[in-house]
């Protein structure tokens, strides 16, 4: 690995950082060697996840929050994930469109396509976080794809997870459902100038008051109007408060452990799959699929054959 390239990344030089991100997105040996070289310099950045349904205002909130954090003298980087087409693999990455205010501020924005990964992120997000961490950014904001109820992967990567709601997106039954609301460290009701904002806040508060563990962190429910930058100071304060709480209760280390536990398992899955399939021709694979659809053999039998090969 070229040591000049590594030090350029560590110095946060935009061209080097951008090329490093491309490299981890492409994967393979180049990505592996790069991460190996950068890994000792990681572990300092605060990773903040932002998730919520499409149209709740995630990108607009990231834009406003990044400005607020910048004003607090933080060096901010943003990873914004949008979905890839399941049919063509193409994508429209439109989050940056809502972050025009950040041009020329030194804030580094990178758009990523999910490239087939479920769970609301892209497979390369964990490595991209490491690159930006090594590049010396204080805060890395990670915006997920527009999430449904079950895209909860962000909580495994982030030190603090912000879940966005908007008025009119659901009633008090939605509020007690399992899934995305459970991963929130901070709940935000954005577009709070719209009808029904207070009802949404009340439904979320009611649900939180039912949490059995009263000593645990209780996520604050904040109202924001991201388009006007309203509520960002309170949001930045809540993030700082959550950081203090996680540090005092040694939760940051636990979160890191959970994050790398998950990443190691994911990495092993990918590597093992790659190893097992590297000598399998397309024709052979197609033959297996044919055997399955004609009901000659079942999936377990084929899987066993591959594993024992």
Rounded Cα gap, residues 59 and 74, in angstroms: 19
Residue 18 touching other proteins (CB under 8 A): yes
To other proteins, the closest distance from the beta carbon of 269 in angstroms equals: 16
Of 54, 89, 148, 150, the residue at the interface with other proteins (CB under 8 A) is 89
Three-class SS string for 201-252?
Answer: HHHHHHHHHCCCCCCCCCCCEEECEHHHCECHHHHHHHHHHHHHHHHHCCHH
Stretch that binds other proteins, among 30-38, 93-101, 250-258, 300-308 (CB under 8 A): 93-101
Token pair for residue 222?
A: 């904040």
Are 232 and 65 in contact, with CB atoms under 8 Å apart? yes
- CA-based nearest residue to 69, from 201, 199, 160, 166: 160
Footprint on residues 20-79 left by other proteins (CB under 8 A)? 21-22, 25-26
Residue 91 touching other proteins (CB under 8 A): yes
Residue 51, helix vs strand vs coil: strand
Of 39, 97, 260, 285, the residue at the interface with other proteins (CB under 8 A) is 97
Q: What is the dihedral of CA 237, 239, 245, 248, to 10 degrees?
A: -100
To other proteins, the closest distance from the beta carbon of 36 in angstroms equals: 21
Closer to other proteins by Cβ: residue 132 or 180 = 132
Rounded Cα gap, residues 11 and 104, in angstroms: 18
Token pair for residue 125?
A: 């997000």
To other proteins, the closest distance from the beta carbon of 97 in angstroms equals: 5
To other proteins, the closest distance from the beta carbon of 38 in angstroms equals: 17
Of 1, 92, 206, 273, the residue at the interface with other proteins (CB under 8 A) is 92
Q: Which chain residues interact with other proteins by CB under 8 A?
A: 14-15, 18-19, 21-22, 25-26, 84-85, 88-94, 96-97, 100, 103-104, 108-111, 113, 115
């Amino acid at each position: 690995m070229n040591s000049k390239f590594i030090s350029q990344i560590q110095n946060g030089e935009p061209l080097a950082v951008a090329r490093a991100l491309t490299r981890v997105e492409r994967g393979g040996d180049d990505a592996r060697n790069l991460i190996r070289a950068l890994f000792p310099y990681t572990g300092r950045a605060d990773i903040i996840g932002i998730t919520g349904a499409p149209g709740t205002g995630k990108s607009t909130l990231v834009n406003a929050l990044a400005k607020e954090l910048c004003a607090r003298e933080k060096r901010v980087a943003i990873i914004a994930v949008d979905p890839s087409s399941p049919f063509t693999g193409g994508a429209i990455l439109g989050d940056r469109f809502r972050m025009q205010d950040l041009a020329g501020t030194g804030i580094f924005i990178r758009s990523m396509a999910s490239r087939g990964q479920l769970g609301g992120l892209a497979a390369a997000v964990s490595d991209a976080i490491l690159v930006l961490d090594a590049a010396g950014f204080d805060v890395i904001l990670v915006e997920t794809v527009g999430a449904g109820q079950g895209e909860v992967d962000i909580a495994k990567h982030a030190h603090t997870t912000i879940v966005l709601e908007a008025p009119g997106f659901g009633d008090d039954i939605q509020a007690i459902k399992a899934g995305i609301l459970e991963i929130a460290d901070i709940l935000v009701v954005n577009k709070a100038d719209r009808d029904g904002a207070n009802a949404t806040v009340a439904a979320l508060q009611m649900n939180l008051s039912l949490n059995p563990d009263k000593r645990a962190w209780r996520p604050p429910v904040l109202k924001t109007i991201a388009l006007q930058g309203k509520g960002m100071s309170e949001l930045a304060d809540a993030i700082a408060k959550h950081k203090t709480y996680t540090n005092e209760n040694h939760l940051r280390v636990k979160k890191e452990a959970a994050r790398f536990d998950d990443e190691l398992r994911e990495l092993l899955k990918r590597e093992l799959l790659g190893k097992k399939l590297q000598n399998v021709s397309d024709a052979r694979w197609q033959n297996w699929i044919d055997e399955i659809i004609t009901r000659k053999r079942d999936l377990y039998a084929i899987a066993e054959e591959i594993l024992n090969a």
